[in-house]
């Protein structure tokens, strides 16, 4: 029996789009409170040193480290206590040889001091003397001016997806507004005569549209703005008109259903008629998700996902994510969430396809186990139960029970 599709390997997919996508890198300025998961449009170079002054990282006494050398429980060093630095105040008093100044965590280090002795290793003798029981090295228990972020240094690069810690760092150097790329607009359609909107009551033979909402939510999560296009019947004119109209205001169009072989599967025909170069890929070597379509109409990419919900989600996650990230201006090598776990059972695999197994993660005696969920890809609950996907590489016959696997988290 002949293969129905000419399968393309996942690794080859970027080549089809290389240099051909219209990446609209318009920018907008937004407050950092709205910047989580947005993509930086400019490098961020710090205009200041952080911290702007050297500070203590411990409660204790600012000292010259050299004065404490040799100090021990049995042979303490005695230093003159000459003052106290108040939090949030400038340290005006300079420290001289043989002196110490009381300081709290975060307090400004006085001139002349190069270390802090923790209070635990001291004893106060009256008002103006301390005993030090442990020596400190220069720079111990302090952060020096600019140690966190140097003035003129590059903090974050253009294309960086902003995370909580990045936004905190921006605040730390006084940046409250950032220029980010405008999110790409992704139009999402579901196709099929059997589909009805979720608020409708389906007749026998009909089912509610799952993919519009599954795909739309995943697109949002990946950094796109969703334009909900609704359901398209398996009707050539309607397909052509709706997809055609959406191309004008979309950076990417995602369809689901109508990608497999069948009398009603008109998507290929329509995509080829809508413009050059048309369908680039029909069938990829992935399981689930083989009957995926990738097309380019002018410079707008179109992804035709398989109709089965678990397949649609798997393909969008694996193949769609890098396309959306590219359109969003995001650098592509930023770490994606995954954890390692041990596989709970043997898994056989189709050698000819890269396979993605849905797994549930369970912690047993401090060991994380990945339990495969082996339902059909038409069952949305196989995804609901799953925490992520385990990949079985192309050409591999399977994985063994107890094998360490990486779980790509949802």
Ligand X SMILES: Nc1nc2c(c(=O)[nH]1)N[C@H]1C(S)=C(S)[C@@H](COP(=O)(O)OP(=O)(O)OC[C@H]3O[C@@H](n4cnc5c(N)ncnc54)[C@H](O)[C@@H]3O)O[C@H]1N2
Give the interface with ligand MOO as residue ranges (CB under 6 A): 287-291, 306, 308, 311, 377
DSSP at 327: H
Tell me which of ligand X, ligand MOO, none is bound by residue 110, counting a contact when its beta carbon lies within the kind-specific cut-off of 5 to 8 angstroms.
none
Query: Per-residue contact track with ligand X, 135 to 174, x per CB under 6 A?
Result: ----------------------------------------
What are the φ and ψ backbone dihedral angles of 375, each rounded to 5 degrees?
-80, 170
**Do the beta carbons of residue 194 and residue 234 sit within 8 Å?**
no
197 binds ligand X (CB under 6 A): no
**Do the beta carbons of residue 113 and residue 141 sit within 8 Å?**
no
Contact with ligand X (CB under 6 A): which of 311, 325, 330, 382?
311
320 binds ligand X (CB under 6 A): no
Site for ligand X in 374-393 (CB under 6 A): 377-378
- Among residues 79 and 305, whose Cβ is nearest to ligand MOO? 305
Tell me which of ligand X, ligand MOO, none is bound by residue 287, counting a contact when its beta carbon lies within the kind-specific cut-off of 5 to 8 angstroms.
ligand MOO
Of 240, 269, 367, 333, nearest in space to 14 by CA: 333
- Among residues 211 and 227, whose Cβ is nearest to ligand MOO? 211
3-state secondary structure of 348: strand
64 binds ligand X (CB under 6 A): no
3-state secondary structure of 244: helix
260 binds ligand X (CB under 6 A): yes
- Among residues 10 and 71, whose Cβ is nearest to ligand MOO? 10
**DSSP track, 140-190:** TTEE-TTSSB-TT-EEE-TTPBP-HHHHHHHHHTT--EEEEEPPPEEEEEE
Tell me which of ligand X, ligand MOO, none is bound by residue 258, counting a contact when its beta carbon lies within the kind-specific cut-off of 5 to 8 angstroms.
ligand X
307 binds ligand X (CB under 6 A): yes
265 binds ligand X (CB under 6 A): yes
Q: How many Cα neighbours within 13 Å face the side chain of 102?
A: 12
Instruction: For residue 58, give every residue at least 6 positions away whose Cβ sits within 8 Å of its Cβ, in sequence order, or none.
Output: 105, 116, 118, 119, 141
The Cα–Cα gap between 74 and 84 comes to 27
Site for ligand X in 278-297 (CB under 6 A): 288, 290-291
φ/ψ region of 300 (left if φ > 0, alpha if ψ in -120 to 50, else beta) reads beta
Which residues of 33-143 form beta strands (DSSP E)?
A: 44-45, 55-56, 60-63, 77-84, 99-103, 115-118, 122-125, 129-132, 142-143
- Among residues 166 and 234, whose Cβ is nearest to ligand X? 234
331 binds ligand X (CB under 6 A): no
222 binds ligand X (CB under 6 A): no
The Cα–Cα gap between 311 and 216 comes to 15
216 binds ligand X (CB under 6 A): no
Least separation in angstroms between CB 204 and ligand X: 13
Least separation in angstroms between CB 216 and ligand MOO: 19
Contact with ligand X (CB under 6 A): which of 54, 135, 259, 300?
259
Q: Alpha helices, DSSP H only, in 208-281?
A: 211-222, 236-248, 267-274
Tell me which of ligand X, ligand MOO, none is bound by residue 210, counting a contact when its beta carbon lies within the kind-specific cut-off of 5 to 8 angstroms.
ligand X
- Among residues 76 and 306, whose Cβ is nearest to ligand MOO? 306
Tell me which of ligand X, ligand MOO, none is bound by residue 23, counting a contact when its beta carbon lies within the kind-specific cut-off of 5 to 8 angstroms.
none
Query: Would you tell me which residues interact with ligand X (CB under 6 A)?
Result: 4, 190, 192, 194-195, 207, 209-212, 256-261, 265, 288, 290-291, 306-309, 311, 377-378
């Amino acid at each position: 029996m002949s293969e129905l599709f000419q399968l393309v390997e996942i690794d080859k997919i970027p080549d089809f789009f290389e240099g051909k996508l219209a990446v609209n890198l318009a920018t907008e300025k937004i407050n950092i409170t709205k910047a989580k998961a947005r993509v930086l449009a400019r490098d961020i170079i710090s205009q200041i040193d952080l911290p702007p002054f050297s500070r203590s990282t411990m409660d204790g006494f600012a000292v010259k480290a050299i004065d404490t050398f040799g100090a021990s429980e049995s042979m303490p060093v005695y230093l003159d206590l000459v003052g106290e630095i108040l939090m949030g105040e400038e340290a005006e008093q300079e420290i001289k040889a043989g002196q110490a100044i009381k300081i709290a965590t975060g307090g400004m280090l006085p001139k002349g001091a190069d270390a802090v002795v923790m209070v635990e290793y001291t004893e106060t003798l009256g008002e103006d003397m301390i005993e030090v029981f442990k020596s400190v090295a220069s720079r111990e228990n302090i952060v020096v001016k600019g140690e966190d972020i140097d003035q003129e240094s590059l903090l974050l690069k253009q294309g960086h997806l902003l995370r909580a810690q990045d936004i905190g760092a921006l605040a730390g150097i006084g940046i409250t507004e950032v220029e980010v790329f405008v999110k790409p607009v992704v139009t999402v359609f579901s196709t099929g005569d059997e589909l009805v909107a979720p608020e409708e009551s389906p007749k026998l033979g009909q089912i509610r549209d799952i993919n519009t909402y599954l795909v739309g939510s995943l697109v949002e999560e990946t950094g796109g703005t969703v334009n909900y296009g609704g359901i398209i019947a398996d009707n050539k004119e309607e397909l052509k008109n709706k997809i055609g109209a959406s191309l004008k205001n979309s950076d990417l169009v995602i369809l689901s259903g109508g990608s497999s072989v069948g009398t009603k599967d008109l998507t290929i025909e329509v995509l080829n008629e809508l413009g050059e170069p048309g369908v680039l890929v029909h069938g990829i070597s992935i399981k689930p998700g083989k009957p995926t379509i990738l097309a380019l109409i002018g410079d707008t990419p179109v992804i035709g996902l398989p109709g089965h919900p678990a397949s649609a989600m798997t393909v969008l996650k694996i193949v769609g994510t890098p396309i959306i990230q590219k359109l969003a201006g995001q650098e592509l090598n930023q770490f994606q969430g995954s954890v390692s776990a041990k596989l709970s059972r043997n898994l056989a695999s189709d050698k000819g396809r890269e396979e993605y197994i849905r797994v549930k993660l369970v912690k047993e005696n401090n060991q994380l186990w990945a339990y495969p969920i082996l339902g059909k890809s038409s069952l949305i609950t196989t995804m609901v139960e799953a925490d992520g996907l385990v990949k079985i590489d192309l050409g591999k016959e399977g994985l063994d029970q107890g094998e360490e696997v990486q779980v790509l988290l949802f």
